[in-house]
Structure 1
Amino acid sequence: MALVKKGSRLITVDGTTYRWRLRGRPTYDQGLVRSPLAYAVEHAEAPGTTLVVTTDQPHLSNWYGAQGSPILPGQVTDSIRTALNDSWTPESPGSSFHLDQSAGFVSSH
């Protein structure tokens, strides 16, 4: 399933263009700081398998005011390269590829 284009951003990594997006509003668990921020990445021209990256920080719009920091393009680039090295094939159809970078996330509960 392709990402919604509204609110997504393009990024070029090693000559390939990807589209990435993070959810504007937190999920219920993200709002309660029970689960960390996650964002999705796909190949911009031939979307196939979506990369879902779980970070080690809370969603910026959480309901408890837990401090987080914005996701920067450099972080997205590093995550894409890591996923590609871990066998993510962005142009091939299939279920989501999950990259867990949540080590160090501290839940509020």
Structure 2
Amino acid sequence: MSLPIKRARKVLVNGKCYRWIVRDRPTYTQACQGGKMLAAVELYGKQGSTLSIEFKWQRPDVAISSYPNSVTPKLIESCINKAIQEGWQSDTAGPAYKYYCDLDQHRTGFSN
């Protein structure tokens, strides 16, 4: 799966460039059932496995939102590092690697 070029942001992690994106609008399930915030990451300029990050908080634009929280480049960088430690291989083709992020940006100091 390839991420769209529009709205994708770049982040440099351990000398490799990645692109990441959060959907600009919630899916139907996220909006109606309070779905979790999701982000997708892939290696920039190469085909490989996509990293699917699920955060523990809900999107701020859904009907049942607990409290707003943001996804920052430093938080994405931390998730990429932890997913690599768990075994995600960004340059190897294959199914999306699912990673659950239990960090809370407000409590860890991951601002921009």
With the shorter chain as reference, the TM-score category is: 0.7 to 0.9
TM-score (norm 2): 0.84
Q: Greater relative contact order (Cα 8 A, min sep 6): structure 1 or 2?
A: 1
Higher helix share: 2
Q: Percent identity among equivalent residues?
A: 25
What pairs with 1:37-52 in structure 2 (closer than 5 Å)? 37-52=37-52
CA contact (8 A) 1:51 1:97 kept: yes
Counterpart in 2 of 1:87?
87
Runs of 4+ in 1 over 4 A off after TM superposition: none
CA shift at 1:22, angstroms? Answer: 0.6
What pairs with 1:68-107 in structure 2 (closer than 5 Å)? 68-101=68-101
In structure 2, the gaps of 5 or more residues are 105-112
In structure 1, the gaps of 5 or more residues are 105-109
Considering only aligned residues, what root-mean-square deviation do their CA atoms show, in Å? 1.8
Counterpart in 2 of 1:35?
35
Counterpart in 2 of 1:4?
4
TM-score (norm 1): 0.86
Three-state SS of the structure 2 residue aligned to 1:70 is coil
